[in-house]
Structure formats: structure tokens, C-alpha cells
Amino acid sequence: MYTEDKGKFILGLIVVSLFALIQNTSIIVIYFAILFVQEIFFMSHFQNDRMIQQILMSIPLMGITVVNGIPLVNVYIALFSMYLLFIYRRNGMRKSKFSSYLVFIFTDTLRLCLFSGSEINIIGIISVPILYLCIFAGMAAFEKTNQEQIIQVYIPSFIEGVILSVLYGGITRFKTGGLLNVFVNTSIVNRNEGASGDPNYFGLYISIAVSMLILIMAIEKKYSFICFVGSCALIVMGLSSSSRMFYITSLFLIIMLIFILIKYAFNRKIFTIIAIILLLFIVLHFTQNILINNLDYVLTRSNTSNISELTNGRSDLIQDYLTYTNNNLFRICFGIGIAQYNVRSGIGAYAHNMYLELYVTMGIIGTLIVFVFVMKYIFQCRRRNKILWKYVPVIITAVSGIAVNFLEVDCFYMLFGLLFAILSMKEGNKILHNS
């Protein structure tokens, strides 16, 4: 039986709380020094699952783990990735798979050299193999997982990271503006970004976490008071991100929660149903002003006839990147590579659209290969089982990809790996419920 490491959450809770109160980066440095020591210990004892848990919990904390421009989470993942590659090679990794890995590194490095607007950045060259290492690790880390491990260990680890991110955002906003500031935005500079470093990512992580809580209830085929209330609380906190994409995805999640409530909660005793209804009324009473204020701010951001302002400049970025890419046949076919594509294109800002990123960095050919691979995997998983609820986190991520960039963020590939693992879960696997 798999068990989640609760020690990591308690340590994270202490560190995040202290850092939110003191804002001393040495706290984060000490924290990751401890994690690196633990990582070496886990490697020596081949405890891959413990490292994966730590990575998943750290992803929503990305914004506070950057020290002197170095994302310590990515360093942790890079070490884990190299360890996995070593293990796979030692255990007879197929030459075709390893060769493919080397080909991807070579082609991306080649494109890095071909499409550098200025002198080639050594950091960019180094980042190429590290990036593909993380892509490899994201898929390899979850190869031998099962439904029980995903539900009991990996999903809770990510949700714990989201809770810590919410906690950090709550403490820092309370310090600057009191209790109301925890829940309500007053300006664009006041949007809640939690510990993620960006309001849009903050909203994305919350959406994925809620979708995973819904998945747990659906798979276990029973209503969970903790999962339901936790989902509602996370959605309320997500409103303060003022992310328009979060508002869209949250509506879908609320519908799912209502469906879960109707389908499973009504099998319980009548007083439980009454308690739930009363709780909903209480929540609505205390959150109506929060919702109204945040929604008003979102509508204010959207109340413009200028499409550039409406999309927060994303339409301009789309036009700039399409113009840059479509002016060169090689770029159209093969893209310019992932590493530092925003700098090498001369545009500066990231695409803020995962699908545009794919086209710009990989071209038509690379985009089609990725699309075929993903669709083939989805159809294979669909033939193996009929758990429709497992698509909810994937759909949420896919929709959110319209408004955020993923490809050059190393830690995202571990999250992608978890989503693919969720898709591959087989129907009928026994789940040992852990309170």
C-alpha cells in the first residue's frame, strides 16, 4: 500500500508561513538545501515516489522558489531527471528511446543556433538538454503507477502545494490590506497570485486541484464533505486572481460539483442533506460581496471595444508571433525551438498561449507530431477503460492553455506526466480510501 509523506506538507507549511511573514529568501534557500539532502537520500534508496511527491507539491510554489534568478524547483527536477535517465540506461533503456532523446536535443540546439537574434546565450544552450530531460522525466516518472497510488499519493501532493500557495497569498495580502484584501481585488496590481508568481497560474493551479478533488469523489463513487467544502473554498480563493480564464473554468467545475452533490450526497441521511444546504446558504451569504466585487473588477477589465485591451495584449502577441514565424519557410515547418524562444524571436514576451507556443517553437510538423501522439494516447486510454471523470483535469488544463504558456516551464512536464497517468488509470482498480 502506498502512503503519502505528510512530513513534506508540515515542513512546507512552516516554511511558507515563515516566508510570508518575514520575506527573507534565506528561508527558501535553507528549505531547498534540506530538500536536496533528502533527494540524495531518496536517490540512494531508489524512493522515486518520495521525490515525485515533493516535486508535485512544489509546482504551485514556483513563484517564491526563485532565488537570484534561479528557480530552485527546476534545479530539483533537473537532478531527479538525470537520476531517472541514469536508472533507465542502467536497466537497459531501449536504444531507440535514448536516440530519440538525443535527436530532440540536437535539433533544438540547431534551431537555437539558427534563430538567435543576437549572440548565442550559453544559458539557452544549457537549458535545451535540461528541458528535454524534464520532458523525459515527466513521462517516465509515472510509468509504473496505478490508480491507488495516483489517488492516494500524487494527487494529494499537488493539492497540498495549492493549499500552501493559497496560504501564502492569504498571509501576504492580509499583512498589506487586512481581511477583505485576502478575498477581493481593488486594482490590477492587487490580483492574488498566491505563491505561483502569476495570477493566471494561481487560478490554473486551483482549477486543476478542484478538478482532481472532483475526480476523487467520482472514482470513489461517494460524496466527501472535505473534498466538497475544500473545492468550494479553493474556488472562492481563486476569484481573487481576477483571471478571466479561471472564471470560465470555475463555472464548469461548479456544475461538476453540483452533479456530484446530487448524484452521491443524496444517498446519505436526510440531516446530512439539510446540513449541506444550510452550509451552501451560509457560504453564499458571506461570499456574495466577494463574488460581486471580484466579478465587477473582471468585467471592468473586459469592458472595452479594443481587442488588445480585452485580451490583455494577447491578440498583439498572437499577431507578432504569427508574422515572425510565417515569414520563413523553415520556421513554418520546424519552428525555432523551445529554449528562450521569446528572446530569440525579438518579441520579448512569452506567447501566453500553449497552442501558439507549439506552432512557433515546433512548426507545423512538430505540432502535428505532438497532436497525433496526444490523441493516440487518449484513444488508447479510452479503449482500456471508461472512466469519463478522468478527463476533467485534462480538459481544464487544455482549456487554460489558451491563456498561459507551458512549454518552457520545466516543472510543468511533471504535472503533464501526472495528467497522462490519470488518463491511463484502469477501471476497476481497488482504491484503498485513506482518511
pLDDT in tens, 189-213: 678 888 998 888 999 999 999 999 9
CB count, 10 Å around CB of 330?
12
Helix (H), strand (E) counts: the chain = 19, 2
Q: What is the CA radius of gyration of the chain?
A: 22
Model-level pTM? 0.84
Helices (H), ranges, 118-269: 122-140, 147-149, 155-183, 199-220, 225-239, 244-264
- Whether residue 142 is predicted with pLDDT greater than 80 in this model: the reply is yes
Residue 103 clears pLDDT 50, i.e. is over it? yes
Q: Is 16 exposed, middle or buried (0-12, 13-18, 19+ CB in 10 A)?
A: buried
Surface-to-core class of residue 304, CB atoms within 10 Å of its CB (0-12 exposed, 13-18 middle, 19+ buried) = exposed
Report yes or no: 425 and 390 within 8 Å, Cβ to Cβ: yes
- CB crowding 96-117: b at 16 or more within 10 Å, else e: eeeeebeebbebbbebbeebbe
What confidence category does residue 278 fall into, taking pLDDT thresholds of 50, 70 and 90? low
Arithmetic mean of pLDDT, 3-16: 85
Mean pLDDT of 382-407: 82
pLDDT score, position 428: 45
Closest CA to 77 of 98, 112, 53: 53
Q: State the Cα–Cα distance between residues 190 and 99, nearest whole angstrom.
A: 48
- Give the confidence band of 17 by pLDDT, cuts at 50, 70, 90: very high
pLDDT of residue 220: 83
The more confident residue out of 361 and 271 is 361
Closest C-alpha among 50, 113, 57, 51 to residue 82: 51
For 243-272, what is each residue's pLDDT tens digit?
Answer: 888 888 988 898 888 888 777 766 555 556
Task: Please tell me the predicted confidence (pLDDT) of residue 157.
Answer: 94
116 pLDDT tier (thresholds 50, 70, 90): low
Residue 291 has pLDDT above 90, yes or no: no
Please, which pLDDT band fits residue 314 given cuts at 50, 70 and 90? low
Residue 120 confidence (pLDDT) above 90: no
Domain parsing of the chain, residue ranges: 6-308+352-423
Q: For all residues of the chain together, what is the average pLDDT?
A: 79
Type of residue numbered 39: E
Sign of the torsion angle spanned by Cα atoms 245, 248, 254, 255? negative
Report pLDDT for 119. 53
